[in-house]
Chain A
Amino acid sequence: MASLGDLERTVMDVLWAAEGPVAAAELRDALADRELALTTVHTVLSRLETKGFVEHDDARPRRFRPRATREQHAAELMHEVLGRSGDRQAVLARFVGGVDPEEARMLRQLLDGSAPDAGTR
Chain B
Amino acid sequence: MLPATAAALAVLAAALAWPVPALLGRARWPRRDPLVALVCWQAIGLAGGLSIIGALLVHGLAPWGHSLPEAGAAVLTGDPARDPVRGDHWVTLTLAAVLALELLGVLALSWARTARTRRRHRELLELVVRPADAVPDARLLEHPAPVAFCIPGARPLLVLSSGMVAELDDDQLAAVVAHERAHLAEHHHLYLLPFVAWEAALPVLPAAARAHAAVRELVEMRADDRALTSLRGPDPRRTLAQAIVVAAGGPGGGVPSGALSVGGSAVGARVVRLLSPPAPLPPAARAAALLCAGLLLLVPTALLLLPAV
| A residues apposed to B, CB below 8 Å | 5, 8-9, 12, 51, 53, 70-71, 73-78, 80-84, 86-101, 103-108, 110-111, 114, 116, 121
Interface of A is mostly: helix
Apart from A92-B150, A94-B147, A101-B254: 13 A-B pairs, beta carbons within 8 A: A74-B141, A78-B147, A78-B161, A82-B145, A86-B113, A87-B110, A95-B244, A97-B260, A98-B252, A99-B253, A99-B267, A107-B245, A121-B235
Q: Contacts A89-B216, A93-B152 given: A82-B252 contact, CB under 8 Å?
A: yes
Please list the residues of chain B having a beta carbon within 8 angstroms of any beta carbon in chain A. Answer: 110, 113-114, 117-118, 121, 123-128, 141-143, 145, 147-152, 161, 164, 176, 179-180, 183, 188-189, 192-193, 196, 200, 216, 219, 223, 234-235, 238, 241-245, 247-249, 252-257, 259-260, 263-264, 266-268, 271-272, 275-276
Interface residues of B, dominant DSSP: helix
Within the complex, which residue of A73, A77, A87, A94 is in contact with B114, where a contact is CB–CB below 8 Å?
A87
Check B128 against A116 for contact (C-beta < 8 Å): no
> B149 to A93, Cβ gap below 8 A?
yes
A112, B164: Cα distance in complex, Å: 20
> Are A97 and B267 also in contact (CB < 8 A) when A91-B121, A107-B249 are?
yes
Given A82-B255, A84-B255, A111-B241, A99 contacting B145 (CB threshold 8 A): no
- In Å, the complex CA distance between A86 and B241 comes to 28
Question: How many Å lie between the Cα of A91 and that of B159 in the bound state?
Answer: 13
Give Cα A8–Cα B124 distance, bound, in whole angstroms: 11
User: From residue A109, how far is it (CB to closest CB) to chain B in Å?
Assistant: 10
Asked if B248 contacts A99 (CB within 8 A), the reply is yes
Chain B residues with CB under 8 A of A98: 248, 252-255, 260, 263
Complex-state Cα separation, A104 to B145, whole angstroms: 15
Q: Which of A53, A78, A101 is within 8 Å of B127, CB to CB?
A: A53
**A108 contacts B234, C-beta separation under 8 Å:** no
Alpha-carbon separation in the docked complex, A92 to B157 (Å) = 10
Distance, CA A70 to CA B164, complexed state (A)? 19
Give me the 7 closest cross-chain CB pairs, A-B, nearest first.
A97-B263, A104-B249, A98-B255, A95-B148, A98-B253, A96-B247, A84-B259
